[in-house]
A = this chain, B = another copy of it.
Amino acid sequence: MKKLLNDPRDLVRESLEGFALAHADLVRVSTEPGLVVRADAPVPGKVGIVSGGGSGHEPLHIGFVGPGMLDAAVPGAVFTSPTPEPILTADRAVDGGAGVLHIVKNYTGDVLNFELAAELAEDAGIAVRTVVVEDDVAVPQSSFSAGRRGVAGTLLVEKLAGAAAQRGDDLDAVTAVARRAVAGVRTMGVALQAGTTPHSGRPSFDLGEDEIELGVGIHGEPGRRRMPFGRADDLTDLLVDTVLDDLEVVEDDDVLLLVNGLGATPLAELYVVYRRARQRIEERGATVARSLVGEFVTSLDMAGASVTVLRLDAELMDLYDAPVHTAGLRWGA
């Protein structure tokens, strides 16, 4: 294994130290345990948005802390949930008196630890609501989750809830926006090559020269099936059709299309996938009203991509378009 690190045990800490130095205008960072908090937190009267989970998916979540999105992100060790303690610290740091929303990807460890933290925060007088993202349509459950896994759709839930909080919605209203986003988002991915975990130094699973993992998870969990490698358009059709069927997209729906790289996939290839995904969606009579193409929710250096579709309405479109200023996503004032 060759990786740009010193000791695998120091990767997350040293990476957070670099992140803190690079983005001191945006965030305050603690490293053991890891915690990234918006520099101006708590914002009085604003609902705080807290997310987190195992490291190795960057820019998710730490790259999305800042005005218009998360107030805090709690990174665990690689592919390992953070414990309740730093989550509680995050809740205390961001509560501006309007309560806190936890956005949690549906993995057993994350759900449990955020739940425990929420109970502790409630005991401390902080109102906490939780939404669990479970956008991965590939498998009904996995080795890491009861029910569907939370994957790239999490980015969109964080953006939309973050914008709702930023415009001044109260905790119930922000939670309702987040739930609407969760209800309206679906994802499926494909891996061409596994990522290499820093501790083991080995790929997290083995694929043959001409083999892919359809419906792969972001920790290298098995997907729907192994199949022979094929043309990008055919693979994309498989992903898009599964996502659209599950989301029950119909003619005249407006959707957001996110094509997300899993870590080692050249941007040129992501645009090839985007091209076909968009054609396929439009063949169904739906409209791709917003688009995002890039590496946002990764799995170390996995090669592959996922396709995410979110059903939009006028309000969600406005929230998506609202300014955001984070290390990983930035536009507007």
Q: A250 contacts the other chain (Cβ, under 8 Å)?
A: no
Q: A275 contacts the other chain (Cβ, under 8 Å)?
A: yes
Cβ of A265 and Cβ of B4 under 8 Å apart?
A: yes
Q: A15 contacts the other chain (Cβ, under 8 Å)?
A: yes
B residues within 8 A CB of A274?
18, 21-22
Contact of A275 among B21, B55, B298 (CB under 8 A): B21
Q: Give residues of chain A (1-51) contacting chain B, Cβ–Cβ below 8 Å.
A: 2-6, 11-12, 14-19, 21-23
Stretch at the interface among A90-98, A150-158, A225-233, A308-316: A225-233
Cβ of A272 and Cβ of B58 under 8 Å apart?
A: no
Give the shortest distance, in Å, between A311 (CB) and chain B (any CB): 19
B residues within 8 A CB of A56?
266, 268
A264-305 toward B: CB 8 Å interface, digit per residue (1/0)? 111111111111101000000000100101010010110111
Q: A67 contacts the other chain (Cβ, under 8 Å)?
A: no
B residues within 8 A CB of A298?
266-267
Contact of A278 among B18, B210, B293 (CB under 8 A): B18
Q: A212 contacts the other chain (Cβ, under 8 Å)?
A: yes
Cβ of B264 and Cβ of A18 under 8 Å apart?
A: no
Give the shortest distance, in Å, between A158 (CB) and chain B (any CB): 17
Q: A263 contacts the other chain (Cβ, under 8 Å)?
A: yes
B residues within 8 A CB of A23?
291
Q: A193 contacts the other chain (Cβ, under 8 Å)?
A: yes
CA distance A58 to B332 in the complex (A): 23
Q: A63 contacts the other chain (Cβ, under 8 Å)?
A: yes
Q: A181 contacts the other chain (Cβ, under 8 Å)?
A: no
Contact of A267 among B63, B269, B332 (CB under 8 A): B63
CA distance A231 to B307 in the complex (A): 36
Q: A183 contacts the other chain (Cβ, under 8 Å)?
A: no
Q: Give residues of chain A (184-242) contacting chain B, Cβ–Cβ below 8 Å.
A: 192-193, 195, 209-210, 212, 229, 231-233, 235
Which of A55, A56, A274 has the largest count of B CB atoms less than 10 A from its CB? A274
Answer whether A15 and B272 are a contact pair too, CB < 8 Å, given A2-B229, A22-B291, A265-B4.
yes
